[in-house]
Each structure stands twice: as C-alpha cells, then as structure tokens.
A and B are shown apart, each in its own frame.
Chain A
C-alpha cells in the first residue's frame, strides 16, 4: 500500500525511538540511563525541555524507581513510557511482574544488551529473554524503522481492553540503537490520531471514584494469573489488527512475523532482531540460485504465535532456529528453539529442527557465518539428519 508521508530521515535507532515518543506525547516518562539505551532518554529529555511535549519527565535514581514511578503513573490513568536495557532491566525485575500483574498498559523500549558477567555492553537477547515469563508483550525490531513503528503500535496494543498488558519493544544494542539508518517518519498528526487518547478503566487520582489497586490476594492469586494468560492470548489478534490499521498510515505491514519464500520453501531459518537482515540477504541469494530456502522473522515473541508458526512451517523439511541467547539448560539450546520445538510436539509431521546460538556479547553475525550455516542446513536438509542439534555459530572452537 502506497502511503505518502512527508519525512525521510537518516537517524540512529535511539533517535527514531525518541522521535516516536515525541509524536506519542506520553503523559509520564520515568527513566534512568544505561548504555546503549541512554540516547533515547537523552534525546527525549531535550524534546521535553524544548517544550515539544506535555510529558512529565521524572528523573529517578535507578531502574527500580523508574518502573515503580511508571506503575504509579499508569495506575493514575496516565499514558506512560520508559526505556532500559540489560542490567537496568535486571534491576526492574520485581516491578516488571507488578506492571503486568496489575494489567497496566505502558510501553518500554529495551535496547537488547548482554548481561554481566563478564562485563559486556554489546548486543544479545539475554536481557529480554530473561523477562520472557514476566507477563510483558515482547516485540522484536529488525532496524530503526521497525523500532519506531513498533513503539507507535505498542501503545495501541498495550491499551487495548482485551489486553491491558505492558509492552517491551526490543531493538538490538548498538546495531540498531547507534547505527544510522533510513527512517520514514509518519506525520505528527497521523501518529496522534493513531494512538488517540488513553481511555483508562480507572484512575487512582479521582476522589469521587476511589479504587483499591494492588491488594493482598492470596486466595484468588491463581485466578488472576489465569486472566493474564488469557490477556496474552488475546494479544495475538490485537497485534494483527493494530498492524493492519498501522499499514494505513505507514504503508508498512507487520503482523506476528514476516515470511520470505515460505510458499515453496524446503527449509527455513527463523530469527529475530537485526540478524534477520543478514539472514534475509543469504536466503535471497540461495533463492536466486533456485534453492528453495525460506525465512521467518519473528516479531512477536510474547505472545508466542505457535499455531501460526506451525502453519507457516507446514511444508518444510528442516527448520533452523537462530537464537541470540541461550537457556543454560545444559545443552538444550536457545529459548526460541525450545518453544518452537515444543509447539510441534502434537504435530504428526515434524520438521528436522536445529538451533544456531549466535552473537552472544555482540559477536558479529557476518555474511560469511550465515553462509556457512546455510550450507550446513542445506546438507542436513538433503540428508535428513542433523549431526549436531545445538550449534554455536561464530564461537572460537
């Protein structure tokens, strides 16, 4: 769909996110800086200082406080945002569960960075994968454009009455956050209309309609957790619908995942984040040589679109899952691999599944490495056997 927007710019991912935040004009932003997320809040602080937004910007003393302030503000009915990464996300931990448990909409870009030790500031997905069971929706971005687009869509997904869950927008540290990229910005007015006003079901600041938030509930805790599971399942169609609406203002389409060549693919690669770009290039090269390769770029990791993925992969013989983190289960591979493999348990026709753990601590996923992996996958596909199910791509061994 061709949609004309007035502005194409060359900016880094963090600036693109700050620009989305300016256009969304949240009521409250409470954040604490951490590399490589710092520039988001720095750029947004300048925007706020220039009076371009109505946001109450709260400078807090830690990420624990940032998320606490966001929870308080969201309970008052405000539209709330923050941003973090890595150790910062770690420090937010107990509050992540409170935000999702209280079903408070909010949007948080998490610039994916590895977790210490050893100290490393570069990209992998360990931080957000650790929070996969925290009840937050998690949307991956491939580049600055997707990070910008995801932030805008996340507001609508988070605030949908069938969902009411916080959303984490994931973008690879440095690769997306600090690299200059071409970004098509949507007109301010269109974004404003798209996100609309937050229509909160209650506010804690209305003395005429008092509400009790966060009581001690030991007898019915189980019931509330079941509701959260339902809300996450409800997010699947909501993410798709919001994506359809977003296409009308942007011309860009998302859904739960992106596919390439899946209509006739014999084998497929699944990846999320910036690595998908390198993999797509290689898949396109193979396809231009008549090799029936396919690719799925997973956008929504939480909720995990198991049924849709099974359907998309129904024709393939071999699936290679690329994971930018690992589970330390003792050789079980990465989280996406485990969840996808589990999704296929009930299926009669199961593809051969292999895992490539790659890029930990920012280890580069080069074209050569992807090419090497593709050759191995091609070999596995023709032999129908995988010598090694869990592979560490780019590891010195």
Chain B
C-alpha cells in the first residue's frame, strides 16, 4: 500500500482526493478503530472450548486462532461491540469497562 494517511489530520484541504474517491484501498488498516471501544472483551482460556463461533461472528475479524486454538483479540481494531460475548456458548468472554481496564494498565 502506497497511500500514507498517517498525518491525514494535518492535511491541507487541497490534499484530499477529489470526490473522496480512494484509489488505494485497504487503508482502513491504518485507522485503528480500537479507540472507539468503551467495553473490552476479556477471554477466559479455561472456559473456552475453541468452537470458533466468536471467530465467525466478529464483524471486524479481530479474533484469531492458531493451531485450532483461540489465540487472542486484536485490540487495535476491536470496537467492543460484544458480539463475541453474546454468541459464546460457554460464556468465555467478559465485557469489562475500557476505562477501568486502561487505568489498571497504567
């Protein structure tokens, strides 16, 4: 991908593409939508039966598996929608407050 939008907030109005036609698709990777999250899914490996249902339902493709085992949530893009928690048949996800989670990390 050649289109660098890392400094898009500083762009002059003339720099944006005419008619909002983005000719270099795939740049949504550069937009870390994880910042939208108000609830964070926390996964419990003990409860998980590796059924892949969360993987199928996640609208952002944020859940990854490795060797048929749950491998983690990509918090850079997870918007905290909670669909994984809702769909999980064994309640392996807990949605916790993002603000609290962040303050604990500090």
Contacts from A to B (Cβ < 8 Å): 101-104, 164, 201-202, 209-215, 217, 219-220, 222-224, 226-227, 230
Contact = CB atoms under 8 A, between A and B. Distances in A.
Interface stretch (B20-28, B50-58, B64-72, B90-98): B20-28
B16 A224 contact: yes
Residue among A103, A209, A227 with the highest chain B CB neighbour number at 10 A: A227
A214 B18 CA distance: 11
A102 B21 CA distance: 8
> A-side binding surface: helix, strand, loop or mixed?
loop
Nearest to B16: A223
A201 B16 contact: no
User: Which 10 pairs show the lowest CB-CB distances between chains A and B?
Assistant: A103-B19, A223-B13, A212-B22, A226-B13, A102-B19, A210-B25, A211-B23, A223-B16, A212-B25, A213-B21
A244 B18 CA distance: 27
B29 interface: no
A211 B18 contact: no
7 contacts: A103-B21, A201-B21, A202-B23, A209-B23, A223-B13, A224-B20, A227-B18
Interface of B: 8-9, 11, 13-14, 16, 18-23, 25
Contacts of A214: 20
Given A223-B11, A227-B13, A227-B14, A217 B23 contact: no
A211 B19 contact: no
A391 to B, nearest CB: 42
A100 B22 CA distance: 16
B21 A202 contact: yes
Contacts of A164: 18-19
B6 to A, nearest CB: 14
A212 B21 contact: yes
Nearest to B8: A220
A201 B20 contact: no
Given A164-B19, A212-B22, A224-B16, 8 more contacts: A101-B19, A101-B20, A164-B18, A202-B21, A215-B20, A223-B13, A226-B13, A227-B13
Contacts of B19: 101-104, 164, 213
B29 to A, nearest CB: 13
A211 B9 contact: no
A103 B18 contact: yes
A227 B18 CA distance: 8
A211 B22 CA distance: 5
